[in-house]
Amino acid sequence: MPTIDLARGPAGIADEVRNACEEVGFLTIVGHGVDVQLIGEVASRSRAFFDLPDDEKERFRGPAATPGLPVYRPVGAEKLGANADRKASLDWGPSLEGVGWPSPELRDAYERYYAEMLRVARTLVRSFALALGLAGHALDQLFDDRSSSLRVIDYPAGAGGARAGAH
């Protein structure tokens, strides 16, 4: 799988991005500049949420009704293939409807991480535009900060088999 260093900027990676998308269909990025401590904080705070007793997590299950709040989806809540998926998730985005924040610390970590992911996404979108031969930031108008969301997935130990259907 091609590995592309975002530190070289959109113009510096456009040809590699085009080749990766045309030849392989996937790519791995490095040099994104996201603080490893923030990545670790999101992972540890998410792990702490998924490790809560089921009845505590259920409070955040839904029905999801309020934009800008996270929603918990327990194991088996989704079905991407023939069987219920063996995964749980905590999903959040500014326009995604949810239930509530499990803690202020989780909210802070997710909001900071989301801002970093938007920064990384802008670099990728601009490299895609250049790879397609589009002038300037032509693809930027198709994306906005509110159309994205975060999904942290827990694949519980012992679930066995396929954790999610083909998608």
Query: For residue range 135-146, what is the model confidence (pLDDT) as tens digits?
Result: 656 666 767 666
What backbone phi and psi angles, to 5 degrees, belong to 89? -145, 160
Residues 6+ apart with CB under 8 A from 112: 38
CB 38 within 8 A of CB 113: yes
Q: What is the pLDDT of residue 78?
A: 73
- Return the residue matching tokens 């219920």: 84
Distance CA 73, CA 81 (A): 16
**pTM, full prediction:** 0.87
**What is the mean predicted confidence (pLDDT) over 106-111?**
97
At 148, the pLDDT band (50, 70, 90 cuts) reads: confident
What SS3 class is residue 22? helix
Neighbours of 49 (CB within 10 A): 20
Judged against a pLDDT cut of 70, whether residue 164 lies above it is answered with: no
